[in-house]
Amino acid sequence: ELAEERVLLTGVKDIAQATVITSGLSSPSWKIEQNRRGVPVARFKHGMIHAKYRNVDDGFCRIVYVNVVQDHAGGGTYGDSRAVYIKSEFAGCP
């Protein structure tokens, strides 16, 4: 779980310019993505990062949505975790 949260941060190119307030995954279990024939192609977990960017002075923090994805490798196995950036939106700062 901790390793997956570290992978989560790799999905944000400019995370080095941010202070991460909190981050986490929405669920401990994986959601399975299937193709039209019902064959698994990947599994994923929704993640979020609440961050304050030091180089942005607009008074807002950001919620960055990133999925942790593992591609299906066949035979019920999956590849290494990778992060996929989804979107970012304004959020309040603590």
SS (H, E, C) the chain: CHHHHHHHHCCCCCHHHEEEEEEEECCCCCEEEECCCCCEEEEEEEEEEEEEECCCCCCCEEEEEEEEEEEEEECCEECCCEEEEEEEEEECCC
pTM of the model: 0.89
pLDDT digit string (tens) for 71-88?
999 998 999 999 999 999
Report the pLDDT value the prediction gives residue 27, as an integer from 0 to 100: 87
Report the pLDDT value the prediction gives residue 3, as an integer from 0 to 100: 87
Which segments in the chain show pLDDT lower than 50?
A: none
Report the pLDDT value the prediction gives residue 1, as an integer from 0 to 100: 66
